[in-house]
Amino acid sequence: MPILCRVTRGDLTESIHVVFAVAVDETGTVFYSTGDPYYLTCIRSSLKPFQAAAVVKAGAVDAAGFSDDELAMMCASHNGEDIHVKTVQSMLNKLGLSTADLECGSHFPSDKITRHKMIKEGKVAESIHNNCSGKHAGMLALAKHLEQGIKGYIQKEHPVQKEVFNLVHELTGLKNIPTETDGCSAPTPFMTLETIARLFQKFAASNDQELSRVFDAMCANPILVGGTNRFDSLFIEALAGRGITKIGGESVRGISIKKPSGGSVGIALKVLDGNFRAMSIATTKLLEHLELLNPLELEKLDKFRMEILRNHNQLEIGRIEAIVET
């Protein structure tokens, strides 16, 4: 039975979000699966750590002189807060490029305070505010390093994307991977949940230098990976070097956890209707169920165990809670 996220109004169920999940350990064994482990879904921004790893592997991160926080920025689906914009701008400065060279498109920051401040000041959204701008700055670094031209680096046939997909093929062992266009216009693959879980187990194992470097950069800079009050950032902070998680569009998530006793775990989750409100609650409930978090880590993520729903008069009218079969 899949994980069910139950949305109540009072004591009655109003809606249910269905969540599939797969967990793989260091032996390659699927030790937990609920729903369909072979469910094909788009990995979206959950691919970012591996896209960043391809840039590291090619030598482009070192060639650009990027710091560890800038490497973490390449993995971000960020809020567009000042710290995010400044970090991406630093990356562009090191490359001798500008915001105009980013091919991700523009949108206002998802951070409410930053967005309202920009609107009040009459500022317009630029591509640097795009939640994927760090990834795109990394791709620009790879394009410059390959000396293949920066224009059109988002195209599937561009050498930048070929480098990325060479690593994806290497890590997954798959020859043919369905690919479509992401919200930021870069190519994005479809994979089964089991494949995504295996990817994130390898990321936690960090047997490859490029994966280890990206993992450590994310662990050292949690606020850059998401932002204020974002589950990804709070999870990475709570696990203090032991794990990371990366959300993707339409509510897909990958998780990498290093076991205290050695070994590693990779997990993939997908909310079937794409609703984000169910994901953090389902994630926390699953990790608690699998006993992968210690009491202190769980305490730090306590607010994600259940969400109280309130109306416009701030009256408690229901909740969102996850149900995982034992």
Amino acid at 210: E
> What CATH number should be reported for the domain holding residue 181?
3.40.710
Check pLDDT > 90 for residue 131: yes
284-325 tens-digit pLDDT: 999 999 999 999 999 999 999 999 999 999 999 999 999 998
d(CA 72, CA 244): 11
Q: What DSSP element (H or E) covers 298?
A: helix 295-300
Contact indicator for 22, 191 with CB cutoff of 8 Å = no
Cα distances (angstroms) measured from residue 274 to each of 48, 144, 152, 199, 303: 19, 36, 29, 21, 21
Check pLDDT > 80 for residue 326: no
Residue 279 DSSP label:
H
Q: What is the pLDDT of residue 1?
A: 82
Kindly state whether residue 106 falls inside one of the protein's structural domains.
Answer: yes
Kindly state whether residue 250 falls inside one of the protein's structural domains.
Answer: yes
Kindly state whether residue 280 falls inside one of the protein's structural domains.
Answer: yes
Kindly state whether residue 197 falls inside one of the protein's structural domains.
Answer: yes
d(CA 104, CA 127): 6
Check pLDDT > 90 for residue 227: yes
235-292 tens-digit pLDDT: 999 999 999 999 999 999 999 999 998 999 999 999 999 999 999 999 999 999 999 9
Query: What average pLDDT score do residues 17-38 get?
Result: 97
Residue 88, classed as helix, strand or coil, is helix
Which pTM value belongs to this model?
Answer: 0.96
Tell me which residue range forms the domain holding 46: 19-307
42-77 tens-digit pLDDT: 999 999 999 999 999 999 999 999 999 999 999 999
Residue 191: closest CA among 268, 256, 261:
268
211-226 tens-digit pLDDT: 999 999 999 999 999 9
Residue 244: closest CA among 270, 225, 263, 269:
225
d(CA 244, CA 126): 29
Q: What is the pLDDT of residue 206?
A: 79
d(CA 289, CA 255): 15
Kindly state whether residue 12 falls inside one of the protein's structural domains.
Answer: no
174-187 tens-digit pLDDT: 999 999 999 999 99
d(CA 316, CA 311): 7
Mean pLDDT of the chain: 97
Contact partners, residue 161, CB within 8 Å, separation at least 6 = 153, 154, 155, 186, 187
Query: What average pLDDT score do residues 149-169 get?
Result: 97
Kindly state whether residue 146 falls inside one of the protein's structural domains.
Answer: yes
Kindly state whether residue 82 falls inside one of the protein's structural domains.
Answer: yes
Residue 240 CB coordination number (10 Å): 12
Contact indicator for 279, 272 with CB cutoff of 8 Å = no
Number of domains present in the structure of the chain: 1
Q: What is the pLDDT of residue 325?
A: 84
- In the chain, the percentage of residues whose pLDDT exceeds 90 is 98
Kindly state whether residue 249 falls inside one of the protein's structural domains.
Answer: yes
Contact indicator for 139, 154 with CB cutoff of 8 Å = yes
Burial class (CB in 10 A: 0-12, 13-18, 19+), 131: buried
